[in-house]
Amino acid sequence: MFFRGKKHPLSSKFAYDPSTMSPAIRASICTGEQTAGFISRESGSFTAVMLITSPEDRKRFCREFGVADDQIKIIY
């Protein structure tokens, strides 16, 4: 009844275009919650991709989308 499938990479679910988007992490000042995603360079809108709960999640985000850790902008 309940099946656990393979974990699919995030990059297959979301199309990241480096020419129109830049990687970013939106962090809450109050709670410290962090959400990784991309900012549209045209409209400035943020699209969330995954929740960051540990340094391993941040490394996974970088690895799956092919971005360097120093390219990520942090938004408060």
Structure confidence by residue, pLDDT tens digits, 51-72: 999 999 999 999 999 999 999 9
Tell me, yes or no, whether 27 lies in a domain: yes
Structural contact between residues 73 and 22, judged by C-beta atoms closer than 8 angstroms? yes
Q: Is 2 contained in some domain? A: no
- Rounded CA separation 61/55 (Å): 10
Number of domains forming the structure of the chain: 1
4 in a structural domain: no
pTM: 0.78
Distance between CA 22 and CA 26 in Å, rounded? 12
Domain assignment present for 1: no
Residue 56 maps to a domain: yes
Helix, strand and coil in the chain, % to nearest 5: 20, 30, 45
Residue 45 lies in a domain: yes
Domain extent, residue 43, equals: 17-75
What does the alpha-carbon distance between residue 74 and residue 24 come to, in Å, rounded to a whole number? Answer: 6
Neighbours of 71 (CB within 10 A): 12
Phi, psi dihedrals of residue 20, rounded to the nearest 5°: -115, -10
**6 pLDDT higher than 70:** no
Is 12 part of a structural domain of the chain? no
